[in-house]
């Protein structure tokens, strides 16, 4: 049997309400050396008394399963969730553990999510037209080796660090940050993973801003940084150390602006002095010529 593998991915579908296709597929991703994808589709379910309801079905399937070699199988534990972007408590999730193989390349749960609930005003499932699906996938056992290169685009892989879902590019910086300041988010109020991820991204952006040269930052930039810091502290992030850095940056910015103003003032004074020196030099040359003329003897050429 093959190797154990885990992955968590987020699939964001833009303009979800305007999509007319009955079936949508995510871009492929690789887990357990097997190329997979998420599938969502809309189906009408008929009930007694004429109540017909549209449901959103979610599936995890092995991509291009028809071209795979005979005998391949994957035992997979997975959960498929639609994300309530306002509060994690109302997110909808289904858990499964199944064998994927030639006879069963896809699994999902029938009648998972009524579409009228998803489209309901203030439901939290649609925010700015975006609909998010999160899949957590763990390959327990694998039969048959499938070497497939990984590629992603609309699928975004995230990893958990101290309760924060992070992009791979954020991992190193956040790990060092939490190592230096372990108390940073110990009391953060929100449990919503999307808000927590947004707050952490805001914190990283704030740090990157303050790492710039004061010359590259305007007073507006510093005011926006102060507002961002306020949002983070209101969410119960412990950022006394960052507040000191922001105060230090503001002080350096004031000194820079005062220094630049003084340099301009001195340059103007020097320009005036240079002009005075130039005028004095011209007067000196003129005076020397007049003095030379005064010292010259009187000519008697007109007498003799």
| Domain coverage including residue 29 | 5-157
Q: Which residues contact 193 (CB under 8 A, 6 or more apart)?
A: 83, 88, 165
Phi, psi of 137 (to 5 degrees): -130, 130
Q: Is residue 270 part of a domain?
A: yes
pLDDT tens-place string over residues 117-164: 888 877 788 888 888 888 888 888 777 655 554 444 455 566 666 777
Please identify which residue in the block is written with the tokens 């949508």.
24
The total number of structural domains that make up the chain = 2
Residues 198 and 116 in one domain: no
Tokens (6 digits) for 14 = 């833009």
Contacts of residue 276, Cβ cutoff 8 Å, sequence gap at least 6? none
- On whether residue 303 sits in a domain, the answer given is no
> pLDDT per residue over 229-286, tens digit each?
988 888 888 999 999 999 999 999 899 889 999 999 999 999 999 999 999 999 999 9
Average pLDDT across the chain, whole number? 78
Average pLDDT of span 23-47 = 76
Distance CA 129, CA 126 (A): 6
Cα 163 to the center of its chain, rounded Å: 17
| Cα–Cα distance, 43 to 52 (Å, whole number) | 10
Q: Give me the half-sphere count of Cα atoms (radius 13 Å) on the Cβ side of residue 96.
A: 22
Show which of 131, 157, 183 is a domain's final residue. 157
Q: Cα–chain-centroid distance for residue 260? A: 35
Q: What is the pLDDT of residue 271?
A: 93
What would the two tokens of residue 114 be? 């009524």
Strand-pair partners of 137:
7, 78
Residues 68 and 127 in one domain: yes
In a domain, 301, yes or no: no
So what's the pLDDT on residue 167? 72
Same domain, 186 and 290: yes
Residue 224 lies in a domain: yes
Contacts of 85 (CB under 8 A, 6+ apart): 124, 125, 127, 130, 132, 192, 194
Average of pLDDT values for 213-238? 88
**Residue that finishes a domain, picked among 126, 157, 188:** 157
Statement to judge: residues 166 and 278 lie in one domain: yes
Interacting residues of 279 by C-beta distance below 8 A, sequence separation 6+: none
Q: Kindly report the CATH number assigned to the domain that includes residue 101.
A: 2.60.210.10
Are 84 and 163 found together in one domain?
Answer: no
Note the pLDDT of residue 149: 47
In this prediction, residue 272 carries a pLDDT of: 92
Q: Helices 240-295 & 193-210, crossing angle to 10 degrees? A: 20
Answer positive or negative: Cα dihedral of 7, 8, 12, 16. Answer: positive
Region 203-210: mean pLDDT is 88
Question: What is the percent of the chain where pLDDT is above 90?
Answer: 14
Q: Are residues 231 and 108 in the same domain?
A: no
The answer to whether the CB of 9 falls within 8 A of the CB of 156 is yes
Last-in-domain residue among 110, 128, 157 = 157
Residue 93: strand, helix, or coil? strand
Q: Please indicate, yes or no, whether residues 166 and 152 belong to a single structural domain of this protein.
A: no
Contact yes or no for 121/12 (Cβ under 8 A)? no
- Residue 167 sits in the same domain as residue 264: yes
Predicted pLDDT at 177: 85
Q: Where are the beta strands (DSSP E) in 148-264?
A: 155-157, 159-161, 164-166
Provide the 8-state DSSP code for 153: S
Together in a domain, 201 and 178: yes
Residue 49 has pLDDT above 50, yes or no: no
Q: Is the pLDDT of residue 79 over 70?
A: yes
Both 90 and 176 in one domain: the answer is no
Question: Are 39 and 144 in a shared domain?
Answer: yes
Give the separation between CA 32 and CA 28, rounded to whole angstroms: 13
CB atoms within 10 A of CB 190: 14
Helix (H) or strand (E) holding 73: strand 73-82
Q: What local confidence, expressed as pLDDT, does residue 9 receive?
A: 85
Average pLDDT of 19-27? 75
Residues 133 and 170 in one domain: no
Task: Assess if residue 113 is contained within a domain.
Answer: yes
Residue 12 lies in a domain: yes
Residue 299 domain-assigned (yes or no): no
Look at 5-19, 29-43, 49-63, 103-117 and tell me which has the smallest mean pLDDT: 103-117
């Amino acid at each position: 049997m093959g190797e154990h593998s885990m992955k968590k991915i987020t699939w964001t579908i833009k303009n979800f309400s305007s999509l007319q296709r009955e079936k949508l597929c995510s871009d492929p991703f690789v887990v357990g050396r097997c190329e997979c994808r998420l599938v969502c589709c809309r189906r009408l379910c008929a009930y007694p008394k004429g109540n017909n309801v549209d449901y959103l079905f979610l599936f995890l399937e092995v991509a291009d399963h028809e071209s795979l070699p005979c005998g391949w199988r994957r035992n997979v534990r997975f959960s498929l969730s639609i994300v309530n972007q306002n509060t994690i408590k109302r997110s909808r999730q289904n858990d499964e553990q199944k064998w994927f193989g030639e006879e069963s390349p896809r699994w999902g749960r029938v009648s998972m999510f009524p579409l009228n609930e998803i489209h309901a005003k203030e439901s939290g499932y649609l925010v700015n037209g975006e609909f998010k699906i999160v899949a957590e996938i763990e390959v327990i056992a694998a039969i048959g080796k499938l070497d497939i290169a990984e590629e992603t685009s609309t699928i975004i892989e995230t990893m958990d660090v101290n309760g924060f879902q992070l992009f791979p590019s954020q991992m190193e910086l956040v790990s060092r940050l939490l190592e230096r300041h372990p108390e940073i988010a110990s009391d953060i109020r929100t449990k919503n993973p999307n808000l927590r991820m947004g707050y952490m991204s805001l914190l990283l952006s704030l740090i990157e801003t303050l790492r710039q040269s004061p010359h590259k930052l305007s007073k507006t930039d510093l005011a926006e940084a102060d507002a961002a810091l306020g949002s983070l502290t209101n969410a119960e992030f412990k950022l006394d150390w960052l507040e000191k850095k922001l105060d230090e940056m503001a002080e350096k910015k004031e000194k820079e602006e005062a220094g630049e103003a003084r340099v301009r003032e001195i340059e103007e004074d020097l320009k005036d002095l240079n002009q005075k020196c130039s005028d004095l030099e011209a007067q000196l040359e003129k005076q020397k010529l007049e003095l030379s003329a005064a010292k010259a003897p009187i000519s008697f050429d007109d007498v003799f």
